[in-house]
Structure 1
C-alpha cells in the first residue's frame, strides 16, 4: 500500500475536525514553501467552496506574537556598531575591524535569547573563565593587549543590554530577541486569540518555541502534530528521534495526552541504491542519467533531487535530460558562486589596485582589465575584443586611465562606465556598480535569447548592492574602498538567488532544509560525504563547547541530530532512494562517505533492498590517439606554394620536431594568440640583443674593425639596448622586477660580446663585417626532387676573419660544441638534436654561390657560453676533427640528406604523424 504523505494526512485531519471553522484556523509550518503543497492537498479534500485556513511559517508566527519586525544581518551589524560607538570612549575600532567579532557576538546573543538564558549569568560565566586562564599573571606581565581582551569580556553585558534596548526602541530585532519578546508577550497573545492553532511537522525546537507550544497546548488553544517515525522514537540511541524522545518525556502535556503523530513507514519496502562517483560533476551527470532512466515510469513531480551542496545546482541543471520539461527549484543559490558577484569582485580588485598603485595617478594593471573585459557578462556588450587586441599588440602591462578610455570609442557608454575612476566615497562607488549591473540586465533583456538564469543572478547582486548603498548613506562608518570591499565580501551571501518555478509541476530540486514536511516517491540525495552531509563541527562562537553543554545551548551534537532527522525523513515515505557520494578522498568537495550510509548498512531493515555501486567515467584504453593527417589535394597545393616561396631552416626543423606542429603552423597557418608579455620571454630577449648588435655594427660594415671602433660601440651599447627594448617590448614595464633583471642581462650580454671582439682585435685578428641580419635565398635544383625548391633564411652575421669567410648565428641560450659536431651523415634530418647543424648548413648552401672559391666556416656564438667563442660546424672521427669548414663535398652530402627530408615532406602518400615529445 502506498504511504500517504504527511501534508495529505494533515489536510484530511483539518477537513475532518475543523470543517465548520476552517477559515478561522491557523496552521503553523516549519517553512513557507510547505504552504503551497498544503493548499494543494486541501483542494483535493474540500468538496465545496471555502476559505482556506491561515497558513504561516513559525518565524512569521513568532513575529506576530512579539509585534517586532525582523531585520537582516547587515542592518543589524550597523545598528550594533552605533551602540558600540556610544559605549566606547576611546580606542574605538573602525567598522571593518569591529565587524569581524561583531558578527560572532550577534550570533551568541541570538542563541542566548532563543534559549531564554539569563544573559548576565552567561556573560559573567565567560568573563570568569577568561580571568581564570590568566589568574597567575603578575601585574608587570599584564600588557595593554591582555587588559583590552579582558575588558572585552567585561563589556559583553553592557553591549547586550544597550543593544537590546536600542532595538526595542526602534521596534526591530534579530530572531532571538523576537523569540524572547514573544515569550514575554505570550499571556497577552493567548488571551487575545479565539481561533485554534495547529503546529505541524516540527522536530527540533529551541527553548522559546517549546515554551510557546506548551503554553498554548495547556490552554487547549493549539494542537501539535509531529511527524515522528516509531523506529527512531523507540531507539534510545538513534539521533533521528533525539528531540522527539526528549519532548515526549519532558513535556507535562504528554503525561496525560497521546503523542501525535507517530508513523511506521520507514520499515516498509524500499529500494536504496548507494552510488559513488568522482567529484561534483560526476554526481551531477549521474543524477541526469538516473532521472532519464526513471522519468518514463513515474511522474516528475514525485521525484525530488536534494542537493547536499548548493554549488552543484548549475552542473545539475546542465546535466538534466530532455525529458525534464518542467522543474521547480526550491532552494537558494549562494551569492558567493553568483557570476554577477564574481564580476563585482573583479571590478573592486581592478579599481582598488588602480587607486592604490599611485595616489597621483589612476593606473590599471592589464590582468585586472582583461579579467573584467573577458567576463561573460561584459564581453558581448563592451566591444572587449578591440580593446584586448590593442592591449596585447602594444604589450601594455600598466595602462593609464586616459589611455584605456582612448582604446574604445566614446559612444560605448558601458565601456566608460566600467572604467570610470572610483572615488573614495563608498556610496558613489556602489552607485556606479549598480549602474553597471542595471546596464547588463537591460542588455540581457534586449537579447533575443533571454537568459532568465543569468538575469536572476544579476538582479540578486543588484539588490544587495543597492541595499548596501542605503546602509552606507544612513551610517557613515565606511570611509574607504578597501573597507567597502571588506563589508561587501561579508554580506554577499545575502545575494541568494531564489528561483521562481511551479512548485506543483515537474522535477523538484531543493536543499536539505527545504525538504521539511514534504514527501516524495523517489528521492535522489547528492554529496553524501562527511563534512557535507552532515556538516562538520564548526564553532563560530565565543561560547566554549563545555559551557554550551552546561547552559543547554545546542552543540554540534544537536546539529548532527537535526541533519539526521532530515535525512531519515526524506527516506521515511520514499520507495526508491538514490544516495550519491564523492569517491575522491582529496580535494575541496571530497571526504569519507557519510556516516548515514554506514548506518543504513549496519541497521538494514528486513524490507529494505540495499545495493552499493561505484560509477567511474568511461576511460579509453589509450589516453589519446596520436594525430595523423592525410595529405589532401589542398595540402599538397599549399606545400607546393611553400616550396615556391621558400622553406626556411626553422620550417624544416619544425617538421623534424613534430610533423603535426608543422601542419598546424605552416600548412594551416595557425599562429599563437597575441598576449601581453608581462615577463620578457627568451625569444624576445634574443630579438633585442640581435637588434642592438645590428645597430651598433651597422656604421662599420665593409671596413676592417679597429679596437677604437669597438670601444665606441661599448659607449653606445646601453643606450642601444634600451632603444631596442622600447622598440620590441613596446609599452612593457622594464624598470622593476624580472624585466629589470632581463634588461640588465641583455646589457651584460652585449657588453661581454663586444669585450670578446675587442680582445680578439687586440690579438691581431683582421675582421671585416660584410652583412648583418641579411635575407638569403637559393633555389635547390636536383633530379631527385619533384620540382625546384627555394631555401631561404635570415643570416645573423657574415664576416671575413683573417681571410676566411665566416657565417655566424647568435644564440642567447647555451650551446656546446658537441651539438655542432657529427661523425657521419646518417639520420641528420631525423633527429631534432641536429637542428642547429641543419640551420648552419642551410645558411652555407644559400650563401656559397655569392662567394665562390672562398674558404667557408659556419658556426654559433652562444651568449651563455662566450668563453667558447666561435664554435664551428665539425665532422669528427672519434675525438679527432676531420672537417671544420664547409666545401663542395660537405654541401653535397648535406644536400643529399636535405633532399631526403624534402621528399618526405612533399610525398602525398606519407601522412603527417604526430610525434610523442
Structure 2
C-alpha cells in the first residue's frame, strides 16, 4: 500500500520502465503538480531538468493558440455583441450583468461538451416559443422582448465566438472546442514524441475526454485513475460514476486495456463524525480538535489537512487555530465579497446611492461609520469623527446628514470630503475616492505591520484599477447604479488567494484544492446537504431535460463530483474527522449530508465509525440577584447627588429597582437615544408639555375666560410645529408618520382645551404657575448631610378657590395608581409611583408656601374624559397637613434606606 496516489503512479511508471524525466505529466490542477515534482525530486540521485508538469487547462491551451480571457472581459464583450444584435428593446448593462454571467456559463458548457450550438440554441428558442404560446394572437411587449432574446441567441453566440477568435482569446469551453478541432485536422499530429501521463482525473467534459482518448490511441501515453475498487465495482456508488462510464464507453478500454484500481478504502481507519450546532461552533470545535492533534506524537502535522466545504468559514477558522500548531498553510481562495473590507466599500456605495438633496440618510451613514475600517480611519488625528458623528446623529436626531452637520469636525475635513463629497459621484469618482481610502488605510496598516489587512487592501486596489480600465473603454456606465452590479459581480468572481508553502506544515484548503493529494489525517467541516454536495441549484438557462438529452451535466453529475472528492479524501486517510451543522440555517444548506448517512449505513465501516453530537456544557444556575455594596466612592457620589437634589423620578427609580437608581442616577449611564424615525413616548410627552407651557404662559395670574381659551386654540398648530423643530430637528412633519403624530398631538391639545372650556362654564380657574421648579433642603434625622428635594410642577391653579397641583401624563394612568390605602406600599411598590410623585409635589409646595389642604392630581391625555385624577387617601381627595406629615415619615424612611451604607443595593425583579 502506498502512502499517496502520486507515489503509486511514479512507482508504476518505474515498473513499466518509463523514464520519468522524459514524460509530460498532465494533472487536474497546478497544485497537484507541485506535489508531483516534490515526489519526483525525492527519487532522483542526480540533478536533472524538471520534466513537463502541466495542468489540463495549460495542456489544452497549448493545443490552440488562444489565451484565456478574464471573466469580466468576456462579459463586456458579450454585452457589446448583445447590444449589436437585432433585439429592439435591449437591457442596460446593470440588468444584463444579472443574467449575462449565466449565459456565459451555458456557452462554456455547450462548447466544452462539443455540442453543435445551432442545434441546442434553436431547440431552446423553440421551447420558449411553445411555452409562451397563447390563445391570443398578439403577444405582449414583454413576451415579445423575451422571445426576441431567444431567437437571437444563435446569432449572439456566433458573433461572440467570432469576435473572440479574432482577438485570439477565449473562454475555457471555446479553447477546448478549438483544441479538439486542431487535433482532428491533424495540426498537432506527431509533434508529441514524449509519453504523456494523465493523472488523477474524474469528471471530464466531452472535449477533455476526446483529447485524452486521442493521446491514449497514439499508444505511448498512459492514464491513471485514482479510484478505489470499492466504488468502481459498486454499480450505484456516485464516487465511481464517471470512471465507470469511461470504462464502459471508451474504445481504449473496449480494446483490452484495464483500469487499475486502488484498494485502500477498507483499510483500518478511524472515522469520527460530530454534529455541532451552528457554523461558528464548528470552527471552535475544530480548534479544540487541532489542539488535541497537535499534542499527539504519532500524528504528523505535515500530513494533516483541514478541508472547509464552506469556504466562508476561513476567517473564523484562522482565529480558532491553536498556538501549538507551528505552521499553517492556507491554499484556497476566499471570494472577495465574503470579506469585511467588501462590506466597507458596499456600504460606501449604498451611502451614495441613497443621497438626496436633503443630505445623506442617517441609517446609511451610521452603517458606514460603524464599519471597522471607518473606525480605523477615524483616528485621534482625525478627531475620532466616526464616534462623534454617531453620537451627534443620535443626540440631535438627525435624519439626514448635510455639509453643515459635517462642518463640526474640522480635523477630519480632508477625509470627510472624500467620504461625503459635495457633488453627486460619477462611477469614476467613486472609484477614485475608494482608492484614496485604500491609500489611507494602507498607511495605517503598514505602521501596524498588519500583513493580512494589507493583502486584502491590495486585492481591492487591483480590483478598482481593473474597474477603472473598463470604464475607460465603455460608455454605458454613466450612473453609479450601473457600476454597483459590476462591482458586486467582480468581487464575487475574484478571490483572495492564500498561497502558502504547500509542501510544509498543516494545510487548510477548499474541497477542489484537495484533488490528487493524500493526507493521513483529514478534517472536513460543514458536511451538510446543500453545501456538500451543493444541491440542485441550477444556474443555467438550459432546462434539465434538454441538458440530459444533449449529454450536458445536470446537478446529478455535479453532486457526483463532490461525492468523489469526499470519498477520495478519506480513501487513504487513517484518521478522519467530519463535522456538520446540527442546526441547519435556511440559507446555509440543510440537514446532515447524505454522505454522512451513507458512511453510517455502510456495514463494512461499522467498527471504524463513531458518531456523536457535540453539545455545549449547560448548567442552569439560579441567577443570584445583583447586590452592590455601598463603598466609600458610592457614598461620596451619593452625597454629591443629594446636594444636587433627589427628584421624585429618581426616588421612584429606586423603588422600582435600586440597581436602576444606581446606573441611571448615580452613574448617569443613560442609554444613548436612538435616532427617532418613529417618535418615542418621552419625546411625544415633551412636545405636549412644552406646547402647553408656551400656550398658557401669557395667562399666568389671570382668571381664565372663554375668550382666552379660544384665542390660544388658534395658536396650537403653529406652536406645536415650533416644538417639533425644537425637539426633533431634521424631521419633516408635512408628510409620512410624523404628520400623523403631529395630528395626534393637535387632537390631544384640542380635546384638552375643549375640556377646559366646558369647565369654565361652571367653575372659576386661575392659573398660578407653569413648569415651576421647586427645591427644598430637608434635614432627615439620622443623616449627617443635608438632602435637597427638587421637582418641576407642570401646572398650579386655583379651582373655585381650591389649590390644585396638576401633573400631565401622556401614558396610561388609572385611578388606583393615585390612591393610597396602605402607606407601606408607597415606598415599596412601583405601581404607586404616580401617587408618590403627587405627594412629593404637594410636599414641596407646602414647604415653600406653607399651604397644605391642596389637591394634587394627574391629567392623562389618553383618558381626558376622566378629568383630573386626584391623589386620594380613603375618600378624601385633599392633601392635609397630617397627610403630608405621614408622607414625610415614609419619605425620610426611604431616603435613610438609600443613604444607609450598611444596606446594599439589591436588584428587584419585576
* CA displacement 1:10-32 (0-9 Å, x = unmatched): 4445677788661x532211112
1:884 to 854, 860, 877: 877
- Partner of 1:322, secondary structure, is coil
2:218 is equivalent to residue 216 of structure 1: no
What is the Cα deviation at residue 805 of structure 1?
1.4
What is the Cα deviation at residue 200 of structure 1?
0.9
What is the Cα deviation at residue 625 of structure 1?
4.3
Task: Go from structure 1 to structure 2 and tell me whether the alpha carbon gap of 1:625 and 1:262 turns closer, same or farther (over 3 Å shift).
Answer: farther
Residue of structure 1 equivalent to 2:486: 487
Residue of structure 2 equivalent to 1:169: 166
Residue of structure 1 equivalent to 2:154: 157
Task: Go from structure 1 to structure 2 and tell me whether the alpha carbon gap of 1:431 and 1:623 turns closer, same or farther (over 3 Å shift).
Answer: farther
- Partner of 2:492, secondary structure, is helix
Q: TM-score, normalised by structure 1?
A: 0.94
2:88 is equivalent to residue 80 of structure 1: no
* CA displacement 1:563-620 (0-9 Å, x = unmatched): 1100000101111111101111454335211111111111142585111111112223
Residue of structure 2 equivalent to 1:792: 790
- Partner of 1:819, secondary structure, is helix
Q: How does 1:510-529 map to 2 (within 5 A)?
A: 510-529=509-528
Q: Distance in 2 between matches of 1:150 and 1:369?
A: 43
- Partner of 2:371, secondary structure, is coil
Q: How does 1:745-764 map to 2 (within 5 A)?
A: 745-763=744-762
Q: Distance in 1 between matches of 2:408 and 2:622?
A: 44
Q: Distance in 2 between matches of 1:646 and 1:231?
A: 85
Instruction: Count how many residue pairs are aligned between Structure 1 and Structure 2.
Output: 900
Question: Does the aligned pair in 1 maintain the 2:779–2:787 contact within 8 Å?
Answer: yes
Between stretches 411-420 and 608-617, larger displacement belongs to 411-420
Question: Does the aligned pair in 2 maintain the 1:351–1:422 contact within 8 Å?
Answer: no
What is the Cα deviation at residue 411 of structure 1?
5.8
Q: Distance in 2 between matches of 1:745 and 1:493?
A: 49
What is the Cα deviation at residue 424 of structure 1?
6.1
Task: Go from structure 1 to structure 2 and tell me whether the alpha carbon gap of 1:703 and 1:412 turns closer, same or farther (over 3 Å shift).
Answer: closer
What is the Cα deviation at residue 785 of structure 1?
5.4
Q: Distance in 1 between matches of 2:12 and 2:65?
A: 30
What is the Cα deviation at residue 189 of structure 1?
2.4
2:68 to 63, 67, 70: 70
Residue of structure 2 equivalent to 1:374: 370
Q: Distance in 1 between matches of 2:720 and 2:139?
A: 61
* CA displacement 1:713-736 (0-9 Å, x = unmatched): 223222222222222223344333
Task: Go from structure 1 to structure 2 and tell me whether the alpha carbon gap of 1:389 and 1:307 turns closer, same or farther (over 3 Å shift).
Answer: same
- Partner of 1:112, secondary structure, is helix
Residue of structure 1 equivalent to 2:894: 901
Q: Distance in 2 between matches of 1:421 and 1:302?
A: 57
Residue of structure 2 equivalent to 1:911: 904
Question: Does the aligned pair in 1 maintain the 2:94–2:481 contact within 8 Å?
Answer: no
Residue of structure 2 equivalent to 1:273: 272
Between stretches 898-907 and 170-179, larger displacement belongs to 898-907
* CA displacement 1:14-60 (0-9 Å, x = unmatched): 677788661x5322111122232222222221222222122221112
- Partner of 2:767, secondary structure, is strand
Question: Does the aligned pair in 1 maintain the 2:87–2:148 contact within 8 Å?
Answer: no
* CA displacement 1:278-319 (0-9 Å, x = unmatched): 101111111001101111222322221111111111121122
Residue of structure 2 equivalent to 1:417: 418
Residue of structure 2 equivalent to 1:879: none
What is the Cα deviation at residue 405 of structure 1?
4.2
- Partner of 1:730, secondary structure, is coil
Q: What is the RMSD computed on CA atoms of the aligned residues?
A: 2.3
- Partner of 1:191, secondary structure, is coil
Question: Does the aligned pair in 2 maintain the 1:784–1:899 contact within 8 Å?
Answer: no
Q: Distance in 1 between matches of 2:892 and 2:336?
A: 65
Between stretches 318-327 and 174-183, larger displacement belongs to 318-327
Task: Go from structure 1 to structure 2 and tell me whether the alpha carbon gap of 1:411 and 1:615 turns closer, same or farther (over 3 Å shift).
Answer: closer
Q: Distance in 1 between matches of 2:777 and 2:135?
A: 95
Question: Does the aligned pair in 2 maintain the 1:858–1:873 contact within 8 Å?
Answer: yes
Between stretches 168-177 and 689-698, larger displacement belongs to 689-698
Question: Does the aligned pair in 2 maintain the 1:521–1:574 contact within 8 Å?
Answer: yes
Residue of structure 1 equivalent to 2:382: none
Question: Does the aligned pair in 2 maintain the 1:31–1:58 contact within 8 Å?
Answer: yes
Question: Does the aligned pair in 2 maintain the 1:461–1:495 contact within 8 Å?
Answer: no
Residue of structure 1 equivalent to 2:399: 397
Residue of structure 1 equivalent to 2:727: 728
Question: Does the aligned pair in 2 maintain the 1:777–1:793 contact within 8 Å?
Answer: yes
Q: Distance in 2 between matches of 1:268 and 1:534?
A: 25
- Partner of 1:116, secondary structure, is coil
Residue of structure 1 equivalent to 2:295: 296
Question: Does the aligned pair in 2 maintain the 1:824–1:875 contact within 8 Å?
Answer: no
What is the Cα deviation at residue 465 of structure 1?
2.4
Task: Go from structure 1 to structure 2 and tell me whether the alpha carbon gap of 1:131 and 1:772 turns closer, same or farther (over 3 Å shift).
Answer: closer
Question: Does the aligned pair in 2 maintain the 1:772–1:796 contact within 8 Å?
Answer: yes
Residue of structure 2 equivalent to 1:767: 765
Residue of structure 2 equivalent to 1:332: 333
Between stretches 245-254 and 725-734, larger displacement belongs to 725-734
Q: Distance in 1 between matches of 2:694 and 2:243?
A: 90
Q: Distance in 2 between matches of 1:493 and 1:696?
A: 61
* CA displacement 1:384-408 (0-9 Å, x = unmatched): 22333333333211122x3244133
Question: Does the aligned pair in 2 maintain the 1:12–1:42 contact within 8 Å?
Answer: no
Q: Distance in 1 between matches of 2:438 and 2:754?
A: 61
Residue of structure 2 equivalent to 1:582: 581
Q: Distance in 2 between matches of 1:130 and 1:719?
A: 63
2:178 is equivalent to residue 181 of structure 1: yes
Question: Does the aligned pair in 2 maintain the 1:378–1:440 contact within 8 Å?
Answer: no
Q: Distance in 2 between matches of 1:901 and 1:836?
A: 16
Q: Distance in 2 between matches of 1:373 and 1:133?
A: 50
Question: Does the aligned pair in 2 maintain the 1:584–1:590 contact within 8 Å?
Answer: no
Residue of structure 1 equivalent to 2:443: 442
- Partner of 1:55, secondary structure, is strand
What is the Cα deviation at residue 432 of structure 1?
2.4
What is the Cα deviation at residue 141 of structure 1?
4.7
* CA displacement 1:184-227 (0-9 Å, x = unmatched): 11232242233332211111111100111011111134321111
Task: Go from structure 1 to structure 2 and tell me whether the alpha carbon gap of 1:473 and 1:42 turns closer, same or farther (over 3 Å shift).
Answer: same
- Partner of 1:416, secondary structure, is helix
Between stretches 730-739 and 827-836, larger displacement belongs to 730-739
What is the Cα deviation at residue 367 of structure 1?
1.5
Q: Distance in 1 between matches of 2:729 and 2:146?
A: 55
Q: TM-score, normalised by structure 2?
A: 0.95
Q: Distance in 2 between matches of 1:406 and 1:294?
A: 57
Task: Go from structure 1 to structure 2 and tell me whether the alpha carbon gap of 1:145 and 1:641 turns closer, same or farther (over 3 Å shift).
Answer: closer
Q: How does 1:70-469 map to 2 (within 5 A)?
A: 70-88=68-86, 90-133=88-131, 137-138=134-135, 140-186=137-183, 187-256=186-255, 258-259=257-258, 261-297=260-296, 298-354=299-355, 357=356, 361=357, 363-382=359-378, 383-400=385-402, 402-409=403-410, 412-421=413-422, 423=424, 425-446=426-447, 448=448, 450-469=449-468
- Partner of 1:294, secondary structure, is helix
Residue of structure 2 equivalent to 1:808: 806
Task: Go from structure 1 to structure 2 and tell me whether the alpha carbon gap of 1:891 and 1:784 turns closer, same or farther (over 3 Å shift).
Answer: farther
Task: Go from structure 1 to structure 2 and tell me whether the alpha carbon gap of 1:426 and 1:639 turns closer, same or farther (over 3 Å shift).
Answer: closer
Question: Does the aligned pair in 2 maintain the 1:62–1:179 contact within 8 Å?
Answer: yes
Residue of structure 1 equivalent to 2:568: 569
Question: Does the aligned pair in 2 maintain the 1:232–1:240 contact within 8 Å?
Answer: yes
Question: Does the aligned pair in 2 maintain the 1:279–1:589 contact within 8 Å?
Answer: no
Q: Distance in 2 between matches of 1:567 and 1:719?
A: 73
Question: Does the aligned pair in 1 maintain the 2:278–2:584 contact within 8 Å?
Answer: no
What is the Cα deviation at residue 766 of structure 1?
2.3
Q: Distance in 1 between matches of 2:137 and 2:124?
A: 24
* CA displacement 1:500-539 (0-9 Å, x = unmatched): 3222222211111111111111111111111111111111
Question: Does the aligned pair in 2 maintain the 1:351–1:421 contact within 8 Å?
Answer: no
Q: Distance in 2 between matches of 1:327 and 1:836?
A: 65
Task: Go from structure 1 to structure 2 and tell me whether the alpha carbon gap of 1:656 and 1:161 turns closer, same or farther (over 3 Å shift).
Answer: same
